[in-house]
Amino acid sequence: MAVDASRGGVLSAQEIRLRLAVDPPLVRGYAVLENQLQPNGFDLTLAEIHRHAGRGTIGVSNVERVLSSLEPIDFDGEGFADLGQGIYRVTYNEVVALPLDVMALGRARSSLNRVGVTIHSAVWDAGYEGRSTSLLHVLNPAGFRVSRDARILQLIFMTLSVSAESGYSGIYQGENVAAI
């Protein structure tokens, strides 16, 4: 049974492909479209890894927000990083530009779960544009080895039943875009 996309639903690979051809594209900065485009989403790849090096604070207002200081983790000569058990902030290669009729959720690729690693990601609101970050959590006591540009998160795009009146306008709008 076909779903009426005007009432909201998950974007298929075909719809994602169409939305990659508009300006701005739904996703840009990807490496190999055929590897990253999935039947029900789009795989984002690893650009950077950081270790949390300080305490963060979240208060009632954004004025009280203090982000944790970070220390970069280098990739070795083969392009891999060895991570011990713990949490890390990861940044993706791709820039996502969500129109007002689309929001997204990020889920760890099943390969990560199979080696004792997961990713925590917030809701990606309609109107958001940026090269986002997520929390990578290595639960495996033996650690985890990951390469730069590895596909680690599947972003699932959903159309809204009604387009948002205004898009995301928080402090992370446009994040990490200048870095590419």
Domain ranges of the chain: 5-159
Q: What pLDDT was estimated at residue 7?
A: 58
Q: Could you tell me the two tokens for 17?
A: 């492909």
Residue 3 in this model has a pLDDT that exceeds 60: no
Whole-number mean pLDDT of the chain? 92
Please give the pLDDT value at position 63: 86
Q: Cβ neighbours of residue 87 under 8 Å, at least 6 residues apart?
A: 52, 135, 136, 137, 138
User: Average pLDDT, stretch 33-43?
Assistant: 97
What does pTM read for this prediction?
0.91
Instruction: List the structure tokens of 153.
Output: 């998160």
**Chain centroid offset of residue 83 CA:** 19
Integer angstrom CA distances of residue 152 from 30, 57, 100, 131, 162 = 13, 27, 26, 14, 30
Q: What is the pLDDT of residues 87-130, one digit of tens each?
A: 999 999 999 999 999 999 999 999 999 999 999 999 999 999 99
**pLDDT at res. 171:** 72
**CATH no., domain 5-159:** 2.70.40.10
Dist CA 36 CA 161 (whole Å): 26
